[in-house]
Chains A and B, each alone.
Chain A
Amino acid sequence: MTGPRRVVITGAGTINSLGHDVPSTLDAMREGRCGIGPLDLRDAERLSIRIGGQVKGYDEQAHFDRQQIALYDRFTQFTLLAAAQAMAQSGIVLSDEERDRAGVVLGTAGGGVNTWDDSYRSVYEEGKNRVHPFVVPKLMNSAAASHVSMKHDLRGPSFTVATACSSSNHAMGLAFQMVRSGLCEAMLTGGSEAMLCFGGIKAWEGLRVMSKDACRPFSANRNGMVQGEGAAVFVFEEHDRARARGAEILAEVAGFGMTADAADIVMPSALGAERAMRVALRDAGLSPEDVGYINAHGTGTAANDKSECASVSHVFGAAADRLMISSTKSMHGHLIGGTGAVELLACIMALRDGVIAPTIGYEMPDPECALDVVPNVAREARVDAVLSNAFAFGGLNAVLALRAA
């Protein structure tokens, strides 16, 4: 072997409020289209927050049969659809022996929230004394990883990571490390969330950090986050193997950094985020000058955006002046545990297509977010390396570094 193993992405799949596959999602990001709108869900009139990035025009019966629907929560359905797209694009063929060294690592914060919500409703509100027999295997956070492993016969390390809003980045970071270390040949990785139901939104309302009208990251008049839903899944594969079989390489995963703030259960610390970015850069062998774009965590809350910009300024110093940073949550909403996965698509678009997704809804400069946030309109630019940030409640930070193929 010559040098350390490298890891590349050879397949991508998604379903989210911007589209039901990768091309339609990237078109929306390129056009700065917003997937956020009025929530269409039961009892929405009892919510004070009534907007979200819902997956639209989705009919589960068009994709799954009755028995499957009885077992697949919405977050599992989204994951399976995204995984099938990623596998199809990758075209990876694994031998029987290699299937023991290929697995599934996914992120989700809430798992089967719709199943919890529907089942509680039936026993508490409707007074029923029994629920569907598959409630437990349907709602468990690891259900999606299990079904993906079964569907694609991947028998290596497989599990689900739950670190709130960093779940997907932690999952993809671990999958990256497993392929790089030689433990695994290839991995299906990413994440999913489907929390847009009455109970899911009600819980979030309590924290009073949600916007009632729009997600406007970095804009001085931002007033909170907006939830989204969906999934994105990727095939991570060892570089030489992908090259040898002539696979199209979407991007290289070059490094991963994770840290804990060890400070507060909701307020972010600029220092924890800063350390995570530094670790990712060092792991990837990149200097700040090499990075052209950051897909920000950029939630649109007062606290995150200010703290994130401060940490980026510290890490990048003078190089921050040439750096683009955008938050695509302004378009697809915050997918909580699935968000880093959908946001990795914007990183791939930057590296492969030379198109930087914009931060839409940007109306007013904020002196505390004085970076180039690619306001409202996508930009053509050649970038060789990017970072993707995820900073979760509870101070759990996960940053991926990627390079152009």
Chain B
Amino acid sequence: MDLRDRVIAIIAEQAMLEPSDVTPEQSPADLGIDSLGLVESIFAIEEAFDMSVPFNANAPEESDFDISSVAAIIAAVERLVQEQRTPA
């Protein structure tokens, strides 16, 4: 599974949907994910990719992690994976 599919799988599990029902333009709210679900999704992403996601639930828009849509989350994870890749 590539990074994109893994992120979608995490989001789909939180939304209790099939991964095929999750589309890139949807926001977490569109998928029925509330604030607690969002925090849990971010935890799952951190665990899956062994990285740290900068996210403050008080000011999501100011966090250095765009959660406005599924596509934005995938892009943010891709960037963090690049940034936090540990040297081999």
Contact = CB atoms under 8 A, between A and B. Distances in A.
A270 B10 CA distance: 32
B36 A209 contact: no
B56 A224 contact: yes
Interface string B37-60: 001001100000000100111110
Interface in A201-259: 206-209, 211, 222-224
Interface string B3-36: 0000000000000000000000000000000111
Contacts, number: 35
Contacts of A209: 56-58
Given A206-B43, A208-B42, A266 B58 contact: no
Per DSSP, chain A at the interface is: loop
B78 interface: no
A208 B62 contact: no
Interface in A167-197: none
The number of chain B residues touching the other chain, given as a range, is 10 to 19
A223 B43 CA distance: 19
Contacts of A224: 56-58
B59 to A, nearest CB: 5
Contacts of B34: 267
B84 to A, nearest CB: 14
A207 B39 contact: yes
Contacts of B39: 206-208
A206 B43 CA distance: 8
A223 B42 contact: no
B59 A223 contact: yes
Nearest to A208: B57
Contacts of A211: 56, 58
A111 B4 CA distance: 44
B55 to A, nearest CB: 6
Contacts of B35: 266-267, 303
7 contacts: A208-B39, A208-B55, A208-B57, A223-B62, A266-B36, A267-B36, A302-B57
Interface of B: 34-36, 39, 42-43, 52, 55-59, 62
Given A209-B58, A224-B58, 4 more contacts: A206-B43, A207-B39, A211-B58, A222-B58
